[in-house]
Each structure stands twice: as C-alpha cells, then as structure tokens.
Structure 1
C-alpha cells in the first residue's frame, strides 16, 4: 500500500503539470523526463546487471537520429524507429557477448561502448547529405503539451514493463548474476545469458529515450552520440541511485533544470559543481539518494530483496548410473601437468574424500568436475551423461551442487532470500532439516554479516535446497573451530543418509576425513596413487612416501 502511494503521488503531479507550469518550464520537464528514461535504461545495465557502459549515448543517439532522418527524408517513421531498435539491440548483443567473455568484463564493455559511440558520431558528422553533417537535422515539435504527454505516457509504459521484468524470475536471476556470478551458476543460472538480455534491454530503453528526445530538443546533431552525454547520464544515475525507478528520473530532471536555468554564462561553474556533487555522492552515498533512502527505511536489514516468484521445478531423469565417472582426466597449465590421467568413480550415497600434498591437483580436479575448468583429455560422465562439454549451470541442472573453501553466498541478500534463490530451479520443493530452518526464516539479516560458521551453514542450506545428487566440497571445514568442524561433519553425514546423494570432498584434516569418508582417494602429481578405505590408504606405501613423507 505504501509503495502504491509512493508512486501515485508523483504520477498525479506529473499528469497535472501542464495546468500549472509555463511552456518553458514544461519543456524543461519534458527534456528531464527523456533524460530520466535514458538514465533508467542505463540502470538496467549498470545498476541491475553490473555492466558499466561509458558510451551508452550510442544507443540514445540511434533513437534520436531515427526520428530526425525519418522526417528529413520522408521515411516511414515506424520503419525508422524499428530499424533503430533492432540496430541498437544487435550492437548491444555483440558488445555484451564480447565483454562477458572476458575475465574482467568492465574493460571491454567500456572500450566497446565508447568506440561504438565515437564511430557513430564520426558517421553522423561525415555523411552530410544524409545526416546534415556537423549541423545536424531539425525536428518539428507538435506542441509543448502534446510532446510532454507523449513523453510521459511512453516513459510510464517502458518503466512499467521494466519494473515487471526486474520483479520476475528473470529479475531474481539477475540479482544473483550481477552480485555473485560464481554462486549464481551454482544455482543453475546461465549468468552470461541473463546479463546479456539485461544489457540488450538497457540499450533498447535508451534508444526509445532517444526517440523521445528528438522532438523535445528540436535539433539532432553528432554530439548526441558523444562522451559528454554518456558521462552526464552516469552522473544522473549515480546521484539518483541505482536499482531505483524514481531516483534516475528525479536526478535527471533536477540536474537538467539546473543546467537550463543557469544558462550558458554559468555553464563552466555548473559543470564544476556537477563534478563535485558526483565525487561527493560516490564517496559519501555510493548508493545515491535512492540508496540512502532505501537503507534508512530498511534500517540494517538487507537493502536488496529477491522478487517473490513461484517455484518452477525442473525435470531430472532418474538413473542407476554412478554419480560421477572420470576416466583419463588430464589438465595442464602451460608446461605444468596438474592432472595426469585421473580415474575415479563416485556412487550415490557414498562420500569420497580426496587427499594429497599441496600441488597434487585436488582443487583442479574439483574445478574440472564442476565445469569451471575444461579437461585437456579424458571422459567425464555425470549420472550417466557425457558432461565434459557442459557449462557450470548445465551441470548444476543435472544435479551437481558445490560448496567452496570460502563460503559463497549472495552477501547483499538475507539468508532467507539466498535459500529462495537456490530453490528457484530445484527439481522439487525441498524441506530443509530443522538445523537450517532459522536461516530459511531470516529475512532481517544481511547474509554478508553472518559469522563464518553460519555462512557455511547457509551455503550448505543453499546447496541442499537445489536437491543435488552429487555435492562437491573444497575443504569445507577451513577456518572453523573444532566444535564447528565436528558439527559440519555430522551435518554432512546426515545429508548423505537422508538424501542418498554422493559427495566428493577435498580435505587436509585427517580427523575430518576419517569421520566423513566412505572411500579415500590419494592424489600425487595429478594421479590417483591409492583408493580404498581410510585405513587402507594410510597404510599404502606409496601414500606414506608421497603424502606422509615416510618410507
């Protein structure tokens, strides 16, 4: 109810604006709304998907020039607008795919968006017969009031659709993909696909904003693609606040009004003040005005909440095959051969612990099984299916779960929302054991503030919520005290007993291995040198020589 009132009041005021404002003020407000929609579009990429774009004006300019070119050359407006939207979406798709393929996506995204903007600006300047060159093209205005209401209606529709998207299952996936891609993949989310879609939608919204800008400005010229506008929209969004609806619009309207009212004689001072405000906000209010208000209203609770969406179970085929079969798995990093023909089988209901000295290849083997590293040679089968070429999220959907050496959760969400996220694509609605019910009901704590043992419990609860058939664990007791470690071992044994899942565990602590393992596999120089019970492996001469340092 409070949220409805929060949006209803601005809506009524905006609808009544033409009855109380002068023509000049209404025109400034209209321009501010177009810039606000532009900032909202950028927010879908930077704020929601975590993809920083320095040259987002490239998409804004495409929309503006589509309107100007249609009027200048008597082209059908619908065809010109559709062409601009398709072109913007295709450019965004290519940029996102290239950027997300990089280990550090921000760098290629920044360079590519900036490069596309400069290229389009150069084209607009050079093709004078078509674009009007440096002088640009004029666009007729159907009237201040008509233009205002058209801008308001289109902006409202676009924001409504955008709000529906971010409150959907896709929005929940996007929250995880932007904040912790590694954990998001471990819940079965295709993070590249989700973030790519968000970037394409962002570009499309920005292009629509550009189409609204053309009749308001009355002139479309090459600087509409330029770095100055791209920088300005970053400032508007940073000041207003990311992951907000009203924040970008409010900042864009206020700052645009300031720029228009100050006039050309004070522009240098305005720019200096704007830069100072930007620096101040980044240092003092990194979440912008909207983020500060949101944090104050929630008073210590998680500022980010997961959309409430229905569980949609995925279909998992039952099989009598082993959970994991490795044959001849090899992996090299340059001249160093880390895995050298590993053979290993893990069957349902049993826990296999990997032991071995540092550098034996244990964590590398776990990463190969999880899909984070690709093996150079060998066969990898999960539940009877060849999984060597499957990405991480696809292996998770087969029934793979993973816990990391450092507990990996979505730190900004509450424990309850972390567990809801893990349940989104689970094959069944899992009722967690009593030991995890406190976490499943905790909507008031930020997961990142939990103690290490509780974060480990939360990570295990997330893995269990996905109904895994094989769980990978990399030193699960790392950093825990003796009591917490014993409780974790007991919890893992209970998981195996109650669910029948298999486990593959990397562990150095022999007490934990003895309490947890049904079978032990010893690795040395990337090979399994012994496999059997704990007592058999420890007594093996090769293990004593390689692992225990005895002859």
Structure 2
C-alpha cells in the first residue's frame, strides 16, 4: 500500500533525505515551493507508481499480438491461477487467516460452469449459485475458527474437510459430475478467452480494491489482522471484519474456478484436492502476500514454468520449485515482489493504512448511547460480579462504582482479582454472575467494541499498538471507529508527525505514550489502565502520571487504574479501593486504607 502524493509521509521522506531551503530563503508557502523541495527520488517514485500500472496494462492488452497461441493460453491459465491466489490473499494476507483447503471454493466455481454446459443450465445462475454456496460454506467455517483461541488450526482442518467432502461427492455422483473422468468444458477461441479472462480478473480486483482493501473496510482489516486486541479497543468488530474478508476470499476463489473451467477444458474432482490447495499457497508465498501484484506474479511465473518445463523436466522442475520456495521463505519471506514494492513506497514502514484512511482519518460524529437527560450518570456501576476459572474463585461478589471525572485506583495483593475485574469491565471476560452498567446502559453481555462505542478506553500493562504501522498511522487507525474523534493533545505532536518508524521499534515509554494518544483520539469517558507505568523509568513514569492527571482535569474522563506503585496511586487517586479474595476489602484515601488493620493483614498475611 503506497502513500498518496503530498501526504505527511512524503514530507517526512523529504526531511529524512536532508532536503531543506537554502539559508536565508523565505519560508516555504504554497504548492510550488513544496514541489521544489521534493527530492528527485520521491518524484521518480511517484512517476513510477503512475507509469508502471499503465505499462503493465498495455503489455497485457497487447500480449496476444506478440505471443503464439500456446503462450496466450498459458498466460490465460496463469491469470486464472493468479485470481485464485489473490482470493486466498484476502484471507491469508489481509485477514491473517490461513486456509489450506481453499480449493474447495475454487472447485465449486469450476464445476458450476461444467454442470451448466453438461446439463444445459443457465451459466449465470449456476455461477451465482456457486459463489453464494462458497460464501455460505465459508461463513460458519470461519466463525468456528475465530471462536477458537488459535483460529488457524480449526480453520485449516475445516477447509481441508470441506474440500475432501466435495471431492468425494464429485467422485461418487457419476451421473451428475462424470465421476473420476470429470466433465469436458468448451470455451471460445484462445484470444477471446484471454480477453474475457483478463477483463473479468480486472473487474474482480477493482471491486475488491474499492470495497475491501482500499477503503475504510481495509483500514479495519489491517487492525483486526495485525492486533485484534487493539482493534477491539478501537471500536472495531474484528470477528465480523475478518469473517467478511474470508467470505469474500471464498467468493473470489469460486469466480476464479469459473474462469478456469473453459480455459482448462476439463473439470475433474482433483480441483477440490489438496494438491491445488497447496499449490496456491506456494504461488502466493512466492509472489508476496498483502499485495495486488504479488499473487499474479507468483501464479503466472509458476504456471508458465510448469507448462514449458514441467512435462520435459518434471522431476527437476519440481525440485527447483521446492528449492526456490525454501529460498524465498528464508531470504525474502514477504515474497519476490516485496523489494520492488518497498522501493516504490519509499521510506517508512512496509505496512501502511489504505489511502482513504490517510486522507480522512476521522469520521462524522455519530450519536452514542449517552444519557438522554443532563442528570449525571456514573460511568461504571458493578454489582455482585463473580468470576471463576475452573475451581478457582477469582471474583467473589465485586461491587464498585466509579463516578464521572473521578480516578479510582485498585490495589491489593497478587491474586486479588484486580486485572480480572478490569478485563470484565472491558468485555474481554464474561462474568459468571452479577451486573455491569456503563453510563447507565446494561453492558453485562456487550462485546468489547460495543463498550468502546459507549465511551470506554483501555490501556494494557504491555503497550498494545499495531507494531508494523507508523505512530501516525496508529493514531489514524484509532479514529476510524471513534464515535466522536478528536485530535490528540499537543504533547503528542511528535507521534502525530512520525510517519517513518514502525511503532514496534519505539522505546517502551514512547509506545506507552502512543497507546495513550490512541485512546485519547477516541475521546473516552471511562479509561481503564492496568499498571500504566509498568517497565518505565522514574522520569517516564512521572511524565505519564502528569499526562493522566491532566487528562482527567481537562476532559472529565473517569479513570479506573490498577497500580502497585503507591507514589503513582497517591498522585492519581481520588479514591483507593483495596481488593482481597476477589471482593472489596476497604476504600477511602490512601492514608485511610493504609491504616486499616484488615488491609495490613491482607498484604502481610497476618491473622
């Protein structure tokens, strides 16, 4: 994904190359000066980003005029394979969901065309039915996978199982499918077939780019795939977004199969098999994931090699392909097209948000679930919260109220249930009993992203940011789903302008500040913090404490903080709540709870 001309990234690139106005020159104003200050390397990149797609399109359109019939047919087959790999990239590359049985969806499209010809069925109807069937199969499969702690394992098994089931059906339903012999499919002449395939591929890719990868959905998908935890805390329904991407991946694979059938001339049960499913993984890995060009480069290259060398040098060709695959995985894990794409993108992280999010990081404020009248409503009211893990009771009837604009610090010995209670409030854990109200709304069963929409923000003990994005892109991401997005305070200006470093390379203190700035961009009304100063030095901890105290004073945001550092608690807390044994043991000022004999006993283990 490239940065639009004139973006902050381009400005940062200019600064990085050392370009600056001459001494004594007038201040830079207007587009003419900005253009003059643009380094030649950036101008060349911009020119190439415009020229190369045009040259590629012209070359593809002119291909039949310079190639023989066999070469055109091979290129057509490569485009079909490339679209299949592009479909898999929507799942594996974009959504981070590995499918090892994706040929199940490809085979549905291929058999739709074969059955339409064999049984005189309307082609459009059968292909549409195959695409719908692919989506209907994909949705429950991906939902089951995402419900598991590690989604890849069940997703791999389920897609393989679906493919084997369909292969078995195609083999045994001989009167309908032709059995192991398959069905012959006729198509137009080679040149017509090529242009039909090229046009269909271009249309599918354009629609996917417009709807899935380049727009606001693409921004949500980047977050959900790279850091599901932070995506949810940014108000993104990661399960819905990734499920939609997987369903779209299945639909594109089915369309690729429909284009493949007349080009191949024969559709057999092998189109559902593991051989094709593993082949498409190799095509995508060789070309490069999370790219429009990569899947087609990998698929066309392998298809051409197989057609020209596979029959004569079959053993050596397979060996060479396996060696190339291993070499790419070791040396260029991002694929063969990664280096050219990085050069065209210029300085900065390899991963960038889609252009739409970079031009318009915020959104129109929408009505949130606030109180209908002006009567103050407590941001948090928890009553009788209980939570157990197997036989261990962690929360045993927790009652807590946090008033608007107040900071409540939770303290207590290890195992008291502090972090568990914070996770229950955030929606990451469901309570076994009790009720939870956020801003007057019953939130006991609401998912994380719905609580964020109510005004809840969350910072973690280990800073949670999208490591592959720049700090500036992380801040844009935080505003995408914000009900009332706002600019981060001025003290975070250095992060807002940082387009050149991946956030994962920042020092811990800066990653903590970036996480806080991301949370503030969504204008929360209740902020949950789990040991916010963990791992910070004394100076950074004091700086963060000042920023949190200023946040409460300036915005009226309520804070619920789990903290062990009593100096930080003394500076922040309006009320200190001591937990022990999963329930509230004492509450009051720090001095009051420190003097409580029950608190001393809980910490010291005295009886």
TM-score by length of 1: 0.98
Between the aligned partners of 2:344 and 2:396, the Cα distance in structure 1 is: 56
One of 562, 579, 582 as aligned partner of 1:526: 582
Between the aligned partners of 2:559 and 2:209, the Cα distance in structure 1 is: 41
Aligned to 2:198: 152
Asked if the contact 1:67–1:80 (Cα under 8 Å) also holds between the matched residues in 2, the reply is yes
Of stretches 424-433 and 522-531 in structure 1, the one that deviates more from structure 2 is 424-433
The 5 Å alignment of 1:329-344 reads 329-344=385-400
Q: Deviations over 1:135-185 (max 9, x none)?
A: 100011210011000000000000111111211110000000000000000
Asked if the contact 1:523–1:530 (Cα under 8 Å) also holds between the matched residues in 2, the reply is yes
One of 332, 336, 340 as aligned partner of 1:293: 340
Between the aligned partners of 1:325 and 1:7, the Cα distance in structure 2 is: 57
Q: Deviations over 1:187-245 (max 9, x none)?
A: 00000000000000000001000000001000001111111111111000001000111
Residue 280 of structure 2 corresponds to residue 233 of structure 1: yes
Between the aligned partners of 2:487 and 2:177, the Cα distance in structure 1 is: 63
Tell me, what secondary structure is at the counterpart of 2:150? Answer: coil
Aligned to 2:160: 114
The 5 Å alignment of 1:199-214 reads 199-214=246-261
Aligned to 1:179: 226
Asked if the contact 1:338–1:364 (Cα under 8 Å) also holds between the matched residues in 2, the reply is yes
Residue 368 of structure 2 corresponds to residue 316 of structure 1: yes
Asked if the contact 1:174–1:195 (Cα under 8 Å) also holds between the matched residues in 2, the reply is yes
Aligned to 1:74: 120
Aligned to 1:16: 62
One of 347, 356, 363 as aligned partner of 2:412: 356
The 5 Å alignment of 1:271-282 reads 271-282=318-329
Asked if the contact 1:189–1:393 (Cα under 8 Å) also holds between the matched residues in 2, the reply is yes
Aligned to 2:135: 89
Residue 303 of structure 2 corresponds to residue 256 of structure 1: yes
Aligned to 1:190: 237
One of 182, 186, 189 as aligned partner of 1:143: 189
Tell me, what secondary structure is at the counterpart of 1:10? Answer: helix
Between the aligned partners of 2:461 and 2:178, the Cα distance in structure 1 is: 60
Between the aligned partners of 1:272 and 1:51, the Cα distance in structure 2 is: 28
Asked if the contact 1:314–1:425 (Cα under 8 Å) also holds between the matched residues in 2, the reply is no
Asked if the contact 1:415–1:445 (Cα under 8 Å) also holds between the matched residues in 2, the reply is yes
CA distance 1:263–1:406, change in 2 (3 Å)? closer
Tell me, what secondary structure is at the counterpart of 1:289? Answer: coil
- Number of residue pairs aligned between Structure 1 and Structure 2: 551
Between the aligned partners of 1:238 and 1:343, the Cα distance in structure 2 is: 52
Tell me, what secondary structure is at the counterpart of 1:288? Answer: coil
Between the aligned partners of 1:196 and 1:396, the Cα distance in structure 2 is: 21
Between the aligned partners of 2:577 and 2:149, the Cα distance in structure 1 is: 33
Residue 390 of structure 2 corresponds to residue 390 of structure 1: no
Q: Structure 1: where are the runs of 5+ without partners?
A: none
The 5 Å alignment of 1:45-56 reads 45-56=91-102
Aligned to 1:443: 499
CA shift for structure 1 position 266 = 2.0
Asked if the contact 2:234–2:481 (Cα under 8 Å) also holds between the matched residues in 1, the reply is yes
CA shift for structure 1 position 379 = 1.1
Q: Structure 2: where are the runs of 5+ without partners?
A: 1-45
Between the aligned partners of 2:488 and 2:63, the Cα distance in structure 1 is: 53
Aligned to 2:268: 221
Q: Deviations over 1:47-99 (max 9, x none)?
A: 00000000101111110110001001111111111110110010111111111
One of 26, 34, 48 as aligned partner of 2:72: 26
Tell me, what secondary structure is at the counterpart of 2:121? Answer: coil
Between the aligned partners of 1:58 and 1:366, the Cα distance in structure 2 is: 43
Between the aligned partners of 1:314 and 1:425, the Cα distance in structure 2 is: 10
Aligned to 1:484: 540
Asked if the contact 2:310–2:317 (Cα under 8 Å) also holds between the matched residues in 1, the reply is no
CA shift for structure 1 position 294 = 2.8
Tell me, what secondary structure is at the counterpart of 1:53? Answer: coil
Aligned to 2:5: none
Aligned to 1:101: 147
CA shift for structure 1 position 300 = 5.5
Tell me, what secondary structure is at the counterpart of 2:303? Answer: helix
Between the aligned partners of 1:317 and 1:241, the Cα distance in structure 2 is: 43
Between the aligned partners of 2:368 and 2:507, the Cα distance in structure 1 is: 34
Pairwise CA RMSD? 1.2
Between the aligned partners of 2:483 and 2:294, the Cα distance in structure 1 is: 38
Tell me, what secondary structure is at the counterpart of 1:428? Answer: coil
One of 472, 476, 479 as aligned partner of 1:416: 472
TM-score by length of 2: 0.89
CA shift for structure 1 position 549 = 4.8
CA shift for structure 1 position 548 = 4.5
Between the aligned partners of 2:239 and 2:459, the Cα distance in structure 1 is: 21
Tell me, what secondary structure is at the counterpart of 1:228? Answer: helix
Asked if the contact 1:242–1:290 (Cα under 8 Å) also holds between the matched residues in 2, the reply is no
Tell me, what secondary structure is at the counterpart of 2:132? Answer: helix
Tell me, what secondary structure is at the counterpart of 2:235? Answer: coil
Aligned to 1:59: 105
Q: Deviations over 1:461-519 (max 9, x none)?
A: 00000110000000000000011101110000000011100000000111111111110
Between the aligned partners of 2:297 and 2:173, the Cα distance in structure 1 is: 37
Residue 51 of structure 2 corresponds to residue 5 of structure 1: yes
Between the aligned partners of 1:268 and 1:90, the Cα distance in structure 2 is: 39
Aligned to 1:538: 594
Aligned to 1:454: 510
CA shift for structure 1 position 550 = 6.0
